[in-house]
Structure 1
């Protein structure tokens, strides 16, 4: 029997050889329907032009992928651990990739992951909605910290924690607050800002926004210079890392927390707990987010259904030593 070639697959699938080649090398660049047809034909004909272990999986392989923007951020490493724990309980392996806050790198990571994984968790995806929906047609996808119509999502409801944070600052005597915002392309940054503006409106507090920002210690450090041009005395940061960087920069400029200002972070990670002073923060349960995302993805394999619901986990304020009454 002669060896099956890429042209044989193309002819049987009714496409060009170049389309077959793209389906195997970059499946996300070919329509989901065409990709599935090509894979099926290739399996039926016994086409092995691409090493079998490197070809996009058609059957169940027992492997899940997760793509995160920044593996140095504890928020995402905690989600990875939670997904890993849930997968291990079901005998499923985990493949981890980092997009470095880049939508294009995230897409490349997804295209590579679908060679091996049965499904993908996109944590705080930076890709456009339309691109995420296209990815979800290629392989089962669950998104965290983002709502995409037609795709199962797991989010944190930051509104309760934000209301508690604003009320806490008001009770301490503050009438104004500066918000150190996150990346312009971050969905959760927009949700945090919306929740904060609503909470400030309810409590009659004024708000000043520094936007966009880099969600790292360095980003918070750089934000202090702009803040000092018009200080408000109270600060809420997009995440704990920015709050810790802000604390460090303010200390270098001769200001001590909470004597001269109060600051609140978001996430409740280890960096904030070990900060000097320990950080008041809005707690988000990364354990629940990761576990629910993994459970949702694994259930799709067992049931074959396409659950597109949005699951939500709560938030709450944790008061530590970085907030104190306004000095008069």
Structure 2
């Protein structure tokens, strides 16, 4: 039997040889429907024009991928660990990639992952909705901390946590709060802002927004100078790392927490628990998010057309030493 060539695949798929080549080397340059058709035809014909271990396959290989914006962020590290644990329980492997908060790098990471993985988890994806839907047409996709129409999603419901945070600050005597917001392209940042605005309105807190922000220690550190020009006495940060960076910058200027101001983070990372003062924060269960995302993706291999609704996990306020009664 003669060796199957790229021209044989192109003829059977009804495309040009150059299109077949692009489907393998640059999947993002070929439509999802065409890419799937080419892969299916190549699989059927037994095309081995690229190394077998590096070419996409419609068969189940027991490997999934997760792409995260920032591996230095404990929130994403914990989600990844939970995904890994669920994969281990179900006998699957895990490929991990980082997009560095870039939508374009995330798409590149996805295009590379489809060579190896049966499906992909996009954690807090920075890609546009339309691009995520195209990715989901190439391989099974589950997104976390983001709702995309037609794509299975696992999110955290921040409404309870934000309401408890607003009530806590009001009980401490504050009437104003500054919110250190996240990236402009973050879906969860918009949801957090909307829920916080609603919660503050209900309890009678005025809110000042610093937006957009960089969701890192350094990002929180840089915001302190702006905050000191318009202090409110209470601060809620987009995540724990921003809150800790803000506390460090304020300490450098001679302000101590909670003596001079109060701070609340979001995530409940281990670093916030070990910091001084220990960080009051809105707890989000990364364990549940990662586990549910992995279960959902692995379930789709057994029933590809299963209709999986948006799944949500709860949040709650954890009070520690970074918040206290208003003193001025």
Equivalent residue number for residue 249 of structure 1: 249
- C-alpha distance after superposition, 1:270-294 (max 9, x if no partner): 1111111000000000000000000
CA contact (8 A) 1:300 1:307 kept: no
How far apart are residue 12 of structure 1 and its match? 1.8
Structure 2 CA distance, aligned partners of 1:307 and 1:98? 28
Equivalent residue number for residue 206 of structure 1: 206
Equivalent residue number for residue 56 of structure 1: 56
RMSD: 1.0
Equivalent residue number for residue 102 of structure 2: 102
Instruction: Please give the TM-score of this superposition, normalised by the length of structure 1.
Output: 0.98
Could you say what secondary structure the match of 2:53 adopts?
helix
Structure 2 CA distance, aligned partners of 1:61 and 1:270? 34
How far apart are residue 41 of structure 1 and its match? 2.1
**Count of residue pairs the alignment pairs up:** 328
CA contact (8 A) 2:75 2:269 kept: yes
**Which structure 2 residue ranges, 5 or more long, are not aligned?**
none
CA contact (8 A) 2:157 2:313 kept: yes
Equivalent residue number for residue 76 of structure 1: 76
User: Is 1:183 the counterpart of 2:177 in the alignment?
Assistant: no
Structure 2 CA distance, aligned partners of 1:203 and 1:308? 36
Structure 2 CA distance, aligned partners of 1:217 and 1:43? 47
Instruction: Report matched runs for 1:140-179 at 5 Å.
Output: 140-179=140-179
Structure 2 CA distance, aligned partners of 1:300 and 1:28? 23
CA contact (8 A) 2:144 2:154 kept: yes
Could you say what secondary structure the match of 1:292 adopts?
helix
Equivalent residue number for residue 112 of structure 1: 112
CA contact (8 A) 1:32 1:137 kept: yes
Could you say what secondary structure the match of 1:67 adopts?
strand
Equivalent residue number for residue 125 of structure 2: 125
Equivalent residue number for residue 302 of structure 1: 302
Equivalent residue number for residue 228 of structure 2: 228
Structure 2 CA distance, aligned partners of 1:63 and 1:3? 28
How far apart are residue 324 of structure 1 and its match? 0.4
CA contact (8 A) 1:62 1:93 kept: yes
Equivalent residue number for residue 135 of structure 1: 135
Instruction: Please give the TM-score of this superposition, normalised by the length of structure 2.
Output: 0.98
- C-alpha distance after superposition, 1:5-46 (max 9, x if no partner): 212221221101111001111223322221222122223333
Structure 1 CA distance, aligned partners of 2:50 and 2:283? 47
Structure 1 CA distance, aligned partners of 2:288 and 2:308? 18
Structure 2 CA distance, aligned partners of 1:297 and 1:176? 43
User: Is 1:258 the counterpart of 2:262 in the alignment?
Assistant: no
User: Is 1:29 the counterpart of 2:29 in the alignment?
Assistant: yes
Could you say what secondary structure the match of 1:65 adopts?
strand
- C-alpha distance after superposition, 1:99-154 (max 9, x if no partner): 00000000000000000100100000000000000100100000000000000000
CA contact (8 A) 1:150 1:308 kept: no
How far apart are residue 4 of structure 1 and its match? 2.6
CA contact (8 A) 1:268 1:281 kept: yes
CA contact (8 A) 2:296 2:308 kept: no
Deviating above 6 A after TM superposition, structure 1's stretches of 4 or more consecutive aligned residues are: none
How far apart are residue 313 of structure 1 and its match? 0.2
Structure 2 CA distance, aligned partners of 1:44 and 1:86? 32
How far apart are residue 308 of structure 1 and its match? 3.9
Could you say what secondary structure the match of 2:50 adopts?
coil
- C-alpha distance after superposition, 1:188-207 (max 9, x if no partner): 00011001100011011100
Could you say what secondary structure the match of 1:52 adopts?
coil
